[in-house]
Amino acid sequence: MKPQILAALLLLVTAFSASAAAERDIAVANKALGRGMNFGNALEAPKEGDWGVKIEPEFFAKIKQAGFDHVRVPIKWPSHAAKEAPYTIDPEFFQRIDQLLEQAQQNQLAFVLDMHH
């Protein structure tokens, strides 16, 4: 067999092995998250609450009590960034994210931060 063909075959086998391993890792991670609740439309809006969803502190305890294991928070970062370079994210918005992370942690909930849009 020519060295180039052998190298291509080895590369192909390695790629498939890596892909299969990554899929297993993702499946394991997904299973570890357990059941989740989604906070869509809260932090994707230009301002939290504009689209009818505002994340309240008591939600986290209720979600945990209902048997969920994690919360997913999709965020549309451009809604919270300066319109001109260097497109800085509003520091108050980062504080809000920190609040939500702390509330999830206090209620033993994993947190999926979805960098949406």
pLDDT: is 69 or 30 the higher one?
A: 69
Residue 1 has pLDDT above 60, yes or no: no
Give me the long-range contacts of 45-48 (CB less than 8 A, separation at least 24): 45/76, 45/79, 46/79, 47/79, 48/96
Mean pLDDT to the nearest integer, 78-96:
92
The overall average pLDDT reported for the chain is 85
pTM of the model: 0.74
Model confidence band, residue 22 (pLDDT cutoffs 50, 70, 90): low
Whether 88 contacts 51, CB under 8 Å: no
What pLDDT is recorded for position 13?
46
Rounded distance between C-alpha atoms, residue 49 and residue 55, angstroms? 8
Mean pLDDT to the nearest integer, 57-86:
94
What pLDDT is recorded for position 4?
53
Model confidence band, residue 29 (pLDDT cutoffs 50, 70, 90): confident
